[in-house]
């Protein structure tokens, strides 16, 4: 199951989260060529994150999928 895990230090309310989850699901499915019904997206807002010594708004994303990502990244 392709999984996108997004973490940000910006608080995310339920309305914004719902839209982001739907949009991210569509993008991941299209990018890796899998149906949306296979894609899982996790959104963690309001988490402590520091990047380059700064606590300015930031996000970290991690995409996990078995077998497909290497082909997508290599252009095959």
The residues carrying an active-site annotation are 2
Contact 63, 28 (CB under 8 A): yes
Angle at 47 between CA 2 and CA 29, to 5 degrees: 20
Distance between CA 60 and CA 11 in Å, rounded? 14
């Amino acid at each position: 199951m392709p999984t996108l895990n997004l973490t940000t230090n910006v608080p995310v309310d339920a309305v914004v989260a719902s839209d982001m989850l739907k949009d991210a699901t569509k993008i991941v499915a299209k990018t890796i060529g899998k149906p949306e019904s296979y894609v899982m997206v996790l959104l963690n807002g309001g988490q402590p994150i520091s990047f380059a010594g700064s606590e300015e708004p930031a996000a970290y994303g991690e995409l996990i999928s078995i077998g497909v990502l290497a082909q997508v990244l290599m252009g095959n």
